[in-house]
Amino acid sequence: MSRVAIILFAALLLLGAPADPASAQPAKPVSDDVVHEIAAQLRCVVCQNLSVADSPSEMAGQMRAIIRERLAAGESPAEVQRYFVDRYGEWILLAPPRRGFTLLVWLLPLVAVAVGLVTAGALVWRWTHRRHGARTPPVAVDPAMSARIRRELERGS
């Protein structure tokens, strides 16, 4: 074979080969349940009070498509979630991570409930254990006033 023929043969082989070896592999099928599970953990950037899974916005649809593409490319669910956190910050997560300052979001409600229960228990204990001897004695009724009240009641009926 001539040198030119070998070069042309090599060029044809290289042109037929995919540029990216990862693109040569067929995409893995992605379950709708997996996409929904990841999308349910992310906040829609348009609706903000809905998850990407529940939002009807076009942006949420695009985010679901990105999730599906990244999973099909072989990324793990954690890597897909990390992609969105890197892009939008931890705000994008519907449930804040349980570390650092956001740990307060998880602990403050528990502390508030504990303080409320202790306060309620202390009040109930205080109401049920009052000292009975500390009451003021009843005021003596003046006999003249008592007679006057009886007369007026008899006259009215």
Write the pLDDT tens digit of every residue in 66-87.
999 999 999 999 999 999 999 9
Q: Looking at the DSSP assignment, which residues form a beta bridge with residue 43?
A: 51
- Angle, CA of 18, 19 and 20, to the nearest 5°: 95
Helix (H) or strand (E) run with residue 29 in it = none
**45 located within any domain:** yes
Q: What is the distance between the alpha carbons of residues 18 and 65, in angstroms, rounded to a whole number?
A: 24
**122 located within any domain:** no
Q: Which of 58, 68, 62 is nearest to 36 (CA)?
A: 68
| pLDDT per position as a tens digit, 39-61 | 999 999 898 789 999 999 999 99
pLDDT band at 115 (very low <50, low <70, confident <90, very high): very high
Domain of 55, CATH number, reads 1.10.8.640
Q: Does residue 130 or residue 132 have the better pLDDT?
A: 130
**54 located within any domain:** yes
**42 located within any domain:** yes
**152 located within any domain:** no
Given a contact cutoff of 8 angstroms between Cβ atoms, the answer to whether 38 and 77 are in contact is yes
Q: Which domain holds residue 41?
A: 27-100
Residue 33: φ, ψ to 5°: -65, -40
Residue 24 has pLDDT above 90, yes or no: no
Q: What is the distance between the alpha carbons of residues 146 and 157, in angstroms, rounded to a whole number?
A: 17
**14 located within any domain:** no
What secondary structure letter does DSSP report for 123? H
Residue 84, pLDDT score: 93
Q: Total domain count for the chain?
A: 1
Average pLDDT, the chain: 82
**78 located within any domain:** yes
**95 located within any domain:** yes
Given a contact cutoff of 8 angstroms between Cβ atoms, the answer to whether 31 and 71 are in contact is no
* Integer CA distances (angstroms), 72 to 64, 95, 117, in order: 12, 25, 50
